Amino acid sequence: MRKSAIACGLLASAAFTSPVWANADVQKLSADPNNWAVQSGNYAGTRYSTLDQINTSNVGSLKVAWTFSTGVLRGHEGGPLVIGDTMYLHSAFPNIVFALNLADENKIIWKYEPKQDPSVIPVMCCDTVNRGVQYAEGKIFLHQADTSLVALDAKTGKELWKSVNADPKRGETGTGAPLVTKDKVIIGVSGAEFGVRCHVTAYDINSGKKVWRAYSMGPDSDVLLDPEKTMSLGKPVGKDSSLKTWNGDQWKIGGGSIWGYMAYDPELNLIYYGTGNPSTWNPAQRAGPDGKQIDQKWSMTHFARDVDTGVAKWAYQMTPFDEWDYDGINEPILADIKVGGADRKVRVHFDRNGFAYTLDRATGELLVAAKYDPKVNWATEVVMDPKSPQYGRPQVVAKYSTFQNGQDVNSKGICPAALGSKDQQPASFSKLTGLFYVPTNHVCMDYEPFKVSYTAGQPYVGATLSMFPAPDSHGGMGNFIAWDAAAGKIVWSKPEQFSVWSGALTTAGGVAFYGTLEGYFKAVDQKDGKELFKFKTPSGIIGNAMTYAHGGKQYVAIFSGVGGWAGIGLAAGLTNPTDGLGAVGGYAGLKQYTNLGGSLTVFSLP
């Protein structure tokens, strides 16, 4: 390994200083590049490593170092953690956790297999995935499908405590990765497709006791908003900002799932995350009493919250009165870049709606909003003039609206499809280039709303979808792009046959890594996207690339195990083209290239 990487790791560990409110253990471990101590690589969520033994000049020589099967044949999202000599990895339902000894032929140290009621499977939207465990202070934290948040002894796998976060019988499920900050472990809940009013909750890491909970919609006291101090686009949100934007008590079944990756700024003591779609997918059923659009705050929103109290510092709603299921859960990435010639501490977010947003992470000021797929057509732009009453709002193209003249409308050729220009697959920010590397979907849809009644624990969707590749394009369903977040421009784009549903990784070696739905693990040059390496893994990839070093050697690893929303047809054996919320037909060709799996493939130089 190059001296620069080793020195960087030693300096980070030796000279580590942390604000008193950060979790010092997590901060210290993630500052050492030999570890991969947080699902997103670090608190900022950059998925960037300073390791550089594997670089653009030698990455083409990568070989498989070892593999490991989880024994579960469903979609494998997220990725493993590495803390010193131990790797921790997870599976899809039933959410098995393994600890492997990297210093002894990767032997299994312990295995934790929770006993979960399989009745949770039918209420899990879009496959039985889990996005990973987290580590802090000798504990492994797992958010199970049945919403139980479990703390395990990292040395033995013994269960230390368990807190039930929600109720699957109401359609509430757990798929997200926890985030540990200070003395709290924070987790959200899924269920918007079942009419759940979703929330994010902080638990004490030592006892499992609930510290605070913030709902996505409802009274200010439930959403944890300060009407005078919580800001949105430079103005206080005002009293009852959520209640005023819902018809009657529809907010009680309002959705706003929270299952994407979160980020944390220790200096500001703020966590960042996004909320999902309002329930139901039929916009006409959510219209105001006069039959007009209402915003349905705070679904489709990115929040910045105080870790200690949960009170929101600021909120920004990307897609008011969502008509397309453009979930706002995609990960926030924290970076320091120049915008308009000035140094700014920003939060960058690639939304499902096809727009990439650059905001000041302290104030929520909107700095840039631009399309990161040129085929996005449902809106022309996001208004950037602070003096305009439309400031910060997308300008919807009537032809692609699914709600017109007070009625739901069948609309065709909407780009992107409901799974967005990017879904859960996290992007990466490279400190080497100052660019963001984004796995994307290049998919459009036809959208047919229909009336649906609410029953607790039953699907509350209200739309039938058909998906297909973006027309008049390269014919594929995905791209891997490099993005300039200050200019709001694509720097380069690499087409792929299917959506790139894998999380990206960048390193100081100048390489960007990602996986494809048909199962290829690829490495490209960060400068121009030139492909430098590819390897066909046993199954389609929807997991996140990660890297670590052990014994002086750098490794790169990836889960393979096709599934998730895009691969739900294969994962669940579905064949009706409109099943899987429209994905089965759109990705029907995937079965010609891959099959089910659930394994980890680890690469190194010879």
Q: For 106-160, what is each residue's pLDDT tens digit?
A: 999 999 999 999 999 999 988 999 999 999 999 999 999 999 999 999 999 999 9
Segment 179-238, tens digit of pLDDT: 999 999 999 999 999 999 999 999 999 999 999 999 999 999 999 999 999 999 999 999
Which member of 146, 265, 325, 408 is catalytic?
Answer: 325
β-pairing, 463-469 with 478-484?
unpaired
- pLDDT > 90 in the chain, percent: 93
Are the C-beta atoms of residues 33 and 49 closer than 8 Å to each other? Answer: yes
Whether the pLDDT of residue 3 is over 90: the answer is no
Average pLDDT, stretch 70-89? 97
Long-range contacts, 489-492 (Cβ 8 Å, 24+): 489/370, 490/372, 490/374, 491/435, 492/528, 492/529
Whether the pLDDT of residue 83 is over 90: the answer is yes
**Band of the pLDDT at 23, cuts 50, 70, 90?**
confident
3-state secondary structure of 586: helix
Segment 556-575, tens digit of pLDDT: 999 999 999 999 999 999 99
Q: State which H helix or E strand residue 25 sits in.
A: helix 24-31
- Label residues 537-551 b or e (16+ Cβ within 10 Å = b): bbbbbbbbbbbbbbe
Whether the pLDDT of residue 440 is over 90: the answer is yes
Whether the pLDDT of residue 431 is over 50: the answer is yes
Average pLDDT, stretch 19-42? 87
Q: What torsion, rounded to 10 degrees, do the Cα atoms 457, 459, 462, 465 define? A: 160
User: Is-catalytic flag, 325?
Assistant: yes
Whether the pLDDT of residue 424 is over 80: the answer is yes
Q: State which H helix or E strand residue 583 sits in.
A: helix 583-586
pLDDT at 169: 95
Which fold is adopted by the domain 3-25+33-53+61-604?
Methanol Dehydrogenase; Chain A (2.140.10)
Whether the pLDDT of residue 22 is over 70: the answer is no
Q: In Å, what is the CA distance from 269 to each residue of 46, 90, 308, 316? A: 18, 29, 8, 18
For residue 354 the two structure tokens come to 């096809």
Long-range contacts, 97-103 (Cβ 8 Å, 24+): 97/133, 97/140, 97/142, 97/152, 97/157, 98/68, 98/70, 99/140, 99/154, 99/157, 100/68, 102/550, 103/550, 103/551
| Domain segments of the chain as ranges | 3-25+33-53+61-604
Distance CA 439, CA 424 (A): 10
Return the axis-axis angle of helices 24-31 and 3-14, rounded to nearest 10°: 160
- Averaged pLDDT score across all residues of the chain: 95
**Band of the pLDDT at 47, cuts 50, 70, 90?**
very high
In the chain, how many H helices and how many E strands? 5, 42
Segment 397-415, tens digit of pLDDT: 999 999 998 999 999 999 9
